[in-house]
Amino acid sequence: MQNLLNAATLGSIYLLFALGMALVWGTIGILNFAHGATFMFSAFVGHLVTRDTELPFVAVVLIAVLVGAAIAALIQLLAFRPILKRSKNQHAAEMRILIGGIGVAAIPLALAQHVTRSSPFGFRSSYDAEVIQFLGLRLTTTAAVVIVAGLAIGIGLTVWVRRSRQGLALRAIGVDAETAAGMGVNRTVLAFGTMATAGALAGLAGALLTFQLGAIAPETGDQLLIKAFAVIVLGGLGSMAGTVIGAYVLAGAETLVLHLNYGTWVDAVSFGLIFLILLARPQGLFGRKEVRRT
């Protein structure tokens, strides 16, 4: 039972991180490798601000969210949009966006490593986690917040993409950008908005994970990228619901492996899952996008 709670917490962290990537990848087709750097740097700015002044929980989270949104919007403006404009087609752009993201990601990483000398960094906050005990189970308040936030935002985003007008517009861009533009969808504004939202989610995940773990290192963000891939592939590209389910399934699988004390095989779970799903059921659990070659 306790393990279920652990899996729920872990899954919510994966979800919050992967949601941003899935949103952007599944709608406007951008595979953003700088997502991990955005995540980490938002938390890092939170660290810098709280070095001198102790701040409450909400304030730190807010700072991280704003920084994340700003970074993502900046990357869209300076890197991804120019690439898309200069590319003949979506396919050609994919590779360049991938590489562009990798290049851009190196900058915040180097900055953070320089300042912290690669030591772990955390927040100085007036908030201190407490342990809630019920039914013989233990849960920290931070973990509770993480689970609630993960579920709420995950489900909320899924519903929004499916039901709202903007969600419809986003999905239209994902299916056929030209036609969508012809029907009056403002691609530029929507793209910025989506990237900014994804960045905000990254910032949120960064702040929450730092509170949860106590401290993170500059390299932490990039480690989560592969997990996000696994989540998205498992759930199916283009499906928000899939991402939600995928995150918890992955977390559950990893928790099980840990429980059986195969600690050194945990990463193999994500890699193995990616591989197997792509072979057996490439569209993932809920995906709709065309994945196989005709």
Q: Is 188 in the site for another protein (CB under 8 A)?
A: no
* From 36, 147, 274, 286, residue interacting with another protein (rule: CB under 8 A): 274
CA distances from 81 to 27, 75, 128, 180, 186 (A): 15, 8, 41, 17, 14
Distance CA 229, CA 265 (A): 18
**Residue 109 interacting with another protein (CB under 8 A):** yes
Subset of 215-244 contacting another protein (CB under 8 A):
215-217, 219-220, 222-223, 226, 229, 233
Q: Is 138 in the site for another protein (CB under 8 A)?
A: yes
Q: Tell me how far apart the alpha carbons of residues 78 and 122 are, in angstroms, rounded to a whole number.
A: 30
Among 102, 148, 152, 189, the residue binding another protein under the rule CB under 8 A is 102
Q: Are 173 and 183 in contact (CB under 8 A)?
A: no
Binding region for another protein (CB under 8 A) out of 38-46, 58-66, 103-111, 183-191: 103-111
Minimum distance, C-beta of residue 176 to another protein, in the bound complex (Å): 17
- Applying CB under 8 A, among 10, 30, 40, 202 the residue interacting with another protein is 10
CA distance 158 to 23: 9
Identify the residue among 134, 182, 184, 292 touching another protein (CB under 8 A).
292
Minimum distance of another protein from residue 151's CB (angstroms): 18
Nearer to another protein, 169 or 269 (CB): 269
Residue 218, sorted as left (phi over 0), alpha (psi -120 to 50) or beta, turns out to be: alpha
Exactly one of 97, 157, 234, 245 binds another protein (CB under 8 A); that residue is: 97
CB 35 within 8 A of CB 198: yes
* Backbone phi, psi, residue 138, to 5°: -115, 140
